[in-house]
Amino acid sequence: MPTPSAQAALDILRDSSQFQWYVIPLLAITMYIYALEAENNNWNGFFAGLAFWGMDWFNEIWNGLVFHFTQYAPVWGAPGQTAFLILIGLNIEICFMFAIAGIGWSKLLLKDKHARILGIPNRWFIAVIGSLFCVAVEMGLNFIGALTWNYSWWCISAPWLIFLVGYLPFFLVAFWVYDMDSIKKKAITVTSIFTVDILCLITFGGILGWI
C-alpha cells in the first residue's frame, strides 16, 4: 500500500490541470543559457550540462521503478505543489533546474584539469563539494515537506547514499564529458546517455506503464 506522500504524488502525476504559466519562462531561460554556451563556442559546458541532465533522468526512472515494484514508496517523492509532475520524484521545476545546473557547476572548473585544490584534483574537489551542496539542499527540501523520503537508508540520518548515488555520478560524468578532447566524443556520449533514458521512458512508461 502506498505511503500517504506517494499517494499524494500519484494523485497529481502528469495531471495537466496543474499547469502554471511560469513553466514557459523557465523553458525560455533554459534555452537562452544553452544558446549562450553555443554562441560562445563553449561546447565543454554545453555538453557537460546535457550530461548532468541526462544522468538525472536515469535516476528519476529507476526511482519510479522502485515505487512500481514495491507499491510502497519511491526512494524520493515530489508530492508538493508543482506546475507538472513528470515522474513520481520529478516535477517540471526540478527538471529545468537539473537542465542548467551542470553548466553552472562546470564554470567552477579550473582550466587546467590536472590542477589541484587543497591537494585534491580540482574535478574531484568540485564534484564532492557540489554533491555535498546538493545533499544539503535536499535536506532542506525534505525538512519543509517538498521532497519526501520513506526509507531508513535514504534519509537525513543516512545521507551517504544520497551523496554517492544521488549526486556524485552526475558531477563525475558531466566533468568527464567536459574534458573530452573532441566535440564528437562529447556528442556521442551525451547522445548515448539520452538514448538509454528515452528507451527506458518508452519501455517502462509508454509501453508497460510502470512509471
Condensed to tens digits (0 to 9), the pLDDT of residues 118-139 reads: 999 999 999 999 999 999 999 9
Strand segments, DSSP code E, in 22-124 are 76-77, 85-87, 90-91, 116-117, 120-121
* Residues 6 or more apart in contact with residue 56 via CB below 8 angstroms: 90, 98, 170
Q: How many domains does the chain have?
A: 1
Q: Return the pLDDT at 82.
A: 97
Question: Is the distance from CB of 19 to CB of 144 less than 8 angstroms?
Answer: no
Report pLDDT for 12. 96
**115 φψ region: left (φ > 0), alpha (ψ -120 to 50), beta (else):** beta
Percent of the chain with pLDDT over 70: 100
Whole-structure pTM value: 0.95
Question: Residue 150 to residues 9, 57, 77: CA-CA distances in angstroms?
Answer: 13, 21, 9
What pLDDT score does 94 carry? 97
User: If you average pLDDT over every residue of the chain, what do you get?
Assistant: 97
Domain that holds residue 103: 4-207
Band the pLDDT of 67: cuts 50, 70, 90: very high
